[in-house]
Amino acid sequence: MMSDTHDHFKLFCLEGVKDVDVMRDSPIVPFAETLALQYGITSIYKTCDSIEGLEESLSALLYEDRNFKDYKIIYLVFGGTDNSIVLDNYYYSLEEIAEVFEGKLKGKMLHFANTKQLILEEDEAQYFLDVTGAKAVSGYSKQVPILSTVIDHQFFRLCQEYDDVVDVVEELYEKQYALCKTMGFTLYY
């Protein structure tokens, strides 16, 4: 089903960094600019260096941004493997992250860049979706030497076009089959 939210599609990007007080260039900023110019996808980009920073950023989005309902995807750019992310040299499991997001992601999709491998058991994925209320969680299961913005670009555009995540994944695989397989694109819903 085609989405009617084309003009109101927004993306919230949160990148894990070593120190938020140290300025650095991120490849995510020009990527977000490209999404805005090519597809009209508005995004907010923030960094965090601790679990408290992650919680603060999400709280600001939830409680201070009147347009929160328009944010369809929370895009997380963190290091990590399997079912955990790394922040401030500490590994947080997705179960712990689910508790941070408890009930706050109703109807949202959570998408991980391939800076973190996303490998979940079915029960882990279901737990995350049930606790957070998220519509889906997606990412990449294989480590490859390119940043996933190459395919994330298509994924976000398709999420802007279609409401049904199955349609999004089918279309993404149809358009970018080789990249999806090589990078291990995965979506749990």
**Number of separate domains in the chain:** 1
- At 42-89, the pLDDT tens digits run 998 999 999 999 888 888 887 777 777 788 899 999 998 878 999 999
Q: Is residue 132 included in any domain, yes or no?
A: yes
Domain around 120 = 6-188
**Domain containing residue 179: CATH number:** 3.40.50.1460
Q: Residue 112 falls within a domain, yes or no?
A: yes
Exposure string of 120-144, with b = 16+ CB inside 10 Å and e = fewer, is beeebbebbbebbebbbbbbbeeee
d(CA 162, CA 77): 23
Largest CA distance in the chain: 44
Instruction: With respect to residue 1, please indicate whether it lies within any of the assigned structural domains.
Output: no
Entry pTM: 0.90
Mean pLDDT of 78-105: 90
